Structure 1
């Protein structure tokens, strides 16, 4: 069989081509450098800094939901939504491409979708007639309509991040179970609701109250009435946080049905699975909840590292709580081609760090050889994401990778590779990179 040229390898099998191009010396030179540039469609100005065995970002992941050909991910067509990346249709799951997250407040159009079961029938009555029960380790169980919640407790409005616990899962190697999210399972909506703390205090917490369990109206995928699609819970301390809400409005309007109307929980900074959609009940418990999505390896992380690719029952794991620091680039789509002669880029994006805040964001255009600090704005309120911006210089036309990383308020920086591998792929937050071609 005829040996394929390096150009053909890059077209058909970029990972093998990369290994051949770098060889054993770890330097990309001569014909190999020319071949990689030809495959990318541009010269590589900072090729001397390219790490050994580096697979260019343009080959490593699809360009965008608006891409073309076999490289383009499937697109969700949903009323009122932009072209989100379809991660799965049973249950319905869709990711927002990073460049669509360029709004300070995430619009409904660009809000990611995450379901665990079937989408329930839409509530046909007055939204204010929807009922929510609070029971368990309380002195006075409550069964309140949404209208009673709205009128009885202080209404608050704030920007709050909500992120899927598996955001970044696609960065793990070997691949783990679950939706292969990039970085787009994140939103920063403006939510209106009442503090869960106020509702729990009205019910009167018993001395043994220590955890919550959450319940919603979404049916299990199987349709079995005795099985919950998802039913998670948290430590009482998070339930009593000022920013943990029962919400009924998103961006000044009733919550859209796909996002949990008429009411849902909003537990910012922790895995989005805690923000129960179509909320019907909150149980106050004296021990951790045992519902669907609790225990084992579900939304849990290894306390000590395990062998990547190994199986594990999760007994030595701990519940995932505050989400890790992460950043996105929203000013330029991955795979963008810019006009010849472009010598400066105005970059912007967002960063967040669960219960913490972001202290800095840095950008590199020379494969990490040097880093430039960006301007990071203060959050609109606690648990809102933080916008960042800055200007970078480009020496000439060619292929560039914009690497971007954030550091949280405790000094933890996004790592170069996804760390703490786990069977269900939680907590992957490596430095991200977007390919840009100039000319």
Structure 2
């Protein structure tokens, strides 16, 4: 009886990457002869830099399988990567992030519960500031606009789990790529101005946000998420109570009519549908605080192990990361193409981006890109340049950013943790020429 035929490499890489690596690279860890031919057939072209390909590398062309990500179009949005419907979670493909200022239609969506009903009169929406203050305040949106100076900044907002899908083994939570990021032009009042108007007590340590969204259980008494920001970050002048996005009312799905923006830190601190700011004299204990929630190990733990997070620290500044916004993974170019312009964005939480480098020979050599300064603190930075190719064939564009403290995106996601925070490895896009 004839044996079952071996699966093709594209199927193997999709279904059993370890088996595929063994078939292709063998014991010697190099692509030669039949293995090189098999890999070329799997990716659809010759591989000019095959001799520089790291042993065991899963080609970017095969990493997602033939179907690619599942897409979904929400009202008012471009088609996005569907990571979940309950709650709604949509990721922006990197090529949607090609604008210097992110349009509302291209913002990622990360909900934790069900959005509340839109208010009939947004100006009458109220927020309360209480706790460790001398004069508790209750202010309408209209009063916020008239009582405090309005400021406008470009501000990065990034989900704390951005990049989670790069961890091995897989962690809990939405399997984000790099697209849980936005750089909107936010208009609002400084949170510091409002807190000072309430008269902060010396005991004020953290400020917890509460929103009007509804718990997925439907229980009106259960809080969906309530996280707290250290008072020092709350008093930083770019931390806002936001009222407008890109000069327009904030879209309801993004927290209208009022929300906080805590730039450069996990997006879960930027409370949507804001109703209350509770100034506390201690670390907050609301949903989304403590344990392994938005926290990472101080010292590495064994990947895949269980941990209660007692030795973890809260995430403050987000990690350095970059996106390639004008060339999609799987892009094809005409035969004879020898030069390709590339551009994108990079950001680094509290830091700035000092450099972006690109490689087309599997990281053997790197080319520096031009990096523009940020429009203001906490805005992302645009980068651009070109790559040169020696021939037709299969290539991968690898791209990495370095922050102002010299920290570079690593080759693989580091500091594994149960909820998958901080995965910011070098990214890559497969292209075919000819």
**TM tier, smaller:** over 0.9
Measured in 2, the distance between the counterparts of 1:379 and 1:368 equals 27
Q: How do residues 181-200 of structure 1 correspond to structure 2 at under 5 angstroms?
A: 181-200=176-195
What's the counterpart of residue 48 of structure 2?
45
Deviations for 1:276-332, whole angstroms, at most 9, x for unmatched residues?
Answer: 000000011110111110001000001111110011111111101100000000010
**Runs of 4+ deviating beyond 4 Å:** none
Deviations for 1:112-149, whole angstroms, at most 9, x for unmatched residues?
Answer: 00000112111122x11110100000000000001101
Question: Is 1:135 the equivalent of 2:130?
Answer: yes
What's the counterpart of residue 343 of structure 2?
348
Counterpart contact for 1:171–1:428, Cα < 8 Å: yes
Structure 2's unaligned 5+ residue stretches are none
Q: Please point out which of 53, 61, 71 is paired with 1:75.
A: 71
Question: Is 1:102 the equivalent of 2:98?
Answer: yes
What's the counterpart of residue 301 of structure 1?
296
Measured in 2, the distance between the counterparts of 1:369 and 1:242 equals 42
Counterpart contact for 1:9–1:17, Cα < 8 Å: no
Measured in 2, the distance between the counterparts of 1:379 and 1:4 equals 55
Measured in 2, the distance between the counterparts of 1:426 and 1:192 equals 29
Q: Please point out which of 353, 357, 360 is paired with 1:358.
A: 353
Q: How do residues 330-341 of structure 1 correspond to structure 2 at under 5 angstroms?
A: 330-341=325-336
Deviations for 1:152-209, whole angstroms, at most 9, x for unmatched residues?
Answer: 1110011000000000000000000000000000000000000000000000000100
Measured in 1, the distance between the counterparts of 2:365 and 2:199 equals 56
* TM-score (structure 2 length as normaliser): 0.98
- Aligned length, in residue pairs: 429
Measured in 2, the distance between the counterparts of 1:433 and 1:176 equals 21
Displacement after TM superposition at 1:2 (Å): 2.5
SS at match of 2:345: strand
Counterpart contact for 2:157–2:181, Cα < 8 Å: yes
Counterpart contact for 2:8–2:42, Cα < 8 Å: no
Question: Is 1:9 the equivalent of 2:12?
Answer: no
Q: How do residues 162-201 of structure 1 correspond to structure 2 at under 5 angstroms?
A: 162-201=157-196
Deviations for 1:214-262, whole angstroms, at most 9, x for unmatched residues?
Answer: 1000011101122111110111011111110000101110000000000
Q: Please point out which of 399, 420, 428 is paired with 2:423.
A: 428
SS at match of 1:197: helix
Q: Please point out which of 274, 285, 296 is paired with 1:279.
A: 274
SS at match of 2:90: strand
Displacement after TM superposition at 1:3 (Å): 5.3
Measured in 2, the distance between the counterparts of 1:353 and 1:319 equals 17
